[in-house]
Chain A
């Protein structure tokens, strides 16, 4: 029988969760899978079930606790004030201490590929990576699954195995699904949004006086710093008239990705200009959390620019499947 004593202190908090489900709309993991055990409510129910002895701890259950992008939107939306991240953290520690096999959304290094440059160790804002016995290892309790280490690894030796829609290939699948939707002839542009800072603001914007448009799709990345130039170019190639990137202000970015993506996109814009693609088709804006006015203003201007430019023509702007 596994000792659950360390989790006992959360019994009262778990009792207080009224299971309203208001966290569902906030959780990028749940929004991706649609399964209730992937939602914050579901995970709290699982922990309650463990404490009450109704379900046994398992690798399956342990991995649920590590499948999280640490955006903390669930906790902010919680109608019962449950300190969800604190509960998760203790649960995660419990699963590690008890030897469960967990990966979740944490970043994993392929030691065969790793060049031991230690860039990832130096740049991780969460001190989640260290060099031990000749190998770079991830502290699973500290990793925030932001993906910054994937971004800066020169050897492409780090992965987040289950990206829940945030890995580049998954983002491009969503680009295709939106731009090629036969029921939405208005589809024009893609908005890539940071999942930590700007996106909660966008959700707020959508739900108040802001009218969401069928002309663009908001795709949530993890930290915007993960967004690569080739993903943006590929998005244009697949038919987008333009791409807007909403990142958090540099001084608010907890993962260090905002300055990187801004610099990268400046360089990409120069390249676009050289190959006769109007650089205004790529815009980057800093959106502080909850600032719907900023998002509204940015998307309005962006869409006006995009509409004025029209679709990317196959020639001379770019060969491909522009609509």
Chain B
């Protein structure tokens, strides 16, 4: 990037907030995905005014701008494939207002999810989307990717929590979308359009979020199943049977074995474990909820059911799920856990079939894949464990990912439940949304006519995530 541009950016945000050393650029060239690409410069704005100035300049000069939170996305959403300016939003991290009377908080986009919830906790409320990565994920990133988590089955995803946003357009114009009220009936819900837009439409500089009361009691239980299909039937029975769990998680046998192998937990190596939680203010109501869930599990041959309100017991029951993510990396010394086919959603009744399909495809391609997820929301996760230094592994992974998403579409599912599209899933996303791609591109042009905001993602992402992107792994 030329000296004049670097100079201009330093003029806007100050010398201390601009990085162009090759080492820094390399770090900001990747996220938690398999992709990498180098930006030309990293800029850290401190306020909306600076974001406006940067956007005006970048738009005039046609320089790509990639807004970035903590870079914990798994699909390459913030990888700067066209170079340009990475806009590190983490310094805009003030909690501006906690309004208990009107039931909302206003925050800057760089606030980390856990930090917001720590601030809300003394008031007896919480911001509920909370993904597993809440220790690092920023609110801006969560909105841009429509993040959700274990308790979204009851409390919803980021899209359900966003009441209003302030954004800076590619032109530099500062606009407010939405309303602080709980209802806002008419017109296009532009604040919601920002959710899941992955930084392609505007830079979020403030968000107004709703929160909910922290339940006084939580009861967590588990049931084991000898057949994945029986666990799948139980899921559909619970979600279709009027139950309202605050969490409903599936762990399949491959995942159980991985957890046992890495942590020696001694979990029963059955075909599937369902974890269910109910929460609320009164024990009587939670008991009813847990009772209904356990009846349905029993009906579908669930066994060894146990549940507890007590914190230590809940931690013990949850241990297998808590250890799952790290266990995948420790599964085998020669295999690395990659964020591929990491996320999808299928109808409740197809959860078990989807898990079976994942295993069948993995076996056929000589890959190790597990199936787990927030099944109460229809959300399925997996990871591909493979030898990343071998080119043939990537060929198998490419085929497996494609087949998995073909299956997901065939049963009425969707490419992303909560991790987004970025580049890794752009091919599958474009197949799923084929009929509306041009409409989406028209919306993109209306917001960003020069295509400077996070280009090369979503509907403009690659069809072939292996051949058309730079992988961060070296293989031969």
Contacts and interface: CB of A to CB of B under 8 A. Distances in A.
Interface in A157-216: 206-207, 209, 211-214
A49 interface: yes
B279 to A, nearest CB: 15
17 contacts: A15-B336, A16-B336, A16-B337, A18-B337, A20-B133, A21-B72, A21-B133, A25-B112, A25-B136, A35-B44, A46-B26, A79-B326, A80-B329, A207-B135, A212-B118, A212-B121, A212-B122
A273 interface: no
Interface in A79-118: 79-81
Contacts of B330: 80-81
A79 B122 CA distance: 29
A15 B335 CA distance: 9
Contact of B26 (A49, A79, A213): A49
Contact of A15 (B23, B30, B388): B388
Given A21-B32, A24-B136, A35 B19 contact: yes
A44 to B, nearest CB: 10
Contacts of B121: 211-212
Contact of B23 (A46, A207, A214): A46
A12 B122 CA distance: 44
Nearest to B326: A79
A21 B70 contact: yes
A80 B337 contact: yes
Interface string B244-263: 00000000000000000010
Contacts of A78: 326
A155 interface: no
Nearest to B69: A21
Given A21-B136, A25-B112, A211-B122, A45 B474 contact: no
Interface stretch (A56-64, A124-132, A238-246, A256-264): A56-64
A279 interface: no
Nearest to B70: A21
B67 to A, nearest CB: 14
A68 to B, nearest CB: 16
Please tell me the size bucket of the interface on A: 35 or more
A12 B333 contact: yes
Interface in A1-39: 11-12, 15-16, 18-22, 24-25, 34-37
Contact of A60 (B23, B44, B329): B23
Please tell me the size bucket of the interface on B: 35 or more
A104 to B, nearest CB: 14
Given A16-B329, A18-B339, A20-B32, A56 B122 contact: no
Most buried by A among B31, B135, B388, B389: B135
A54 interface: yes
A15 B389 CA distance: 9
Contact of A206 (B118, B388, B473): B118
A52 interface: yes
A21 B112 CA distance: 12
Interface in B457-475: 472-474
Contacts of A207: 114, 118, 135
A271 interface: no
Given A19-B32, A21-B72, A34 B90 contact: yes
B71 interface: yes
A55 B26 contact: yes
A308 B262 CA distance: 50
A290 interface: no
Interface of A: 11-12, 15-16, 18-22, 24-25, 34-37, 42, 45-46, 48-49, 52, 54-56, 58, 60-61, 64, 78-81, 206-207, 209, 211-214
Given A16-B329, A55-B22, 4 more contacts: A15-B473, A18-B338, A24-B135, A211-B122
Contacts of A79: 325-326, 329
Interface in B399-450: none
Contacts of B472: 48
B87 to A, nearest CB: 13
Nearest to A54: B26
Contacts of B72: 20-21
A303 to B, nearest CB: 13
Contact of A37 (B24, B44, B122, B473): B24
B281 interface: no
Nearest to A82: B329
A58 B23 CA distance: 9
Interface string B284-311: 0000000000000000000000000001
B190 interface: no
B23 A22 contact: no
Contacts of A18: 32, 329, 336-339
B155 interface: no
A81 B329 contact: yes
Given A52-B474, A81-B326, A209-B311, A22 B24 contact: no
B133 A214 contact: no
Nearest to B133: A20
B133 A56 contact: no
B21 interface: yes
B174 interface: no
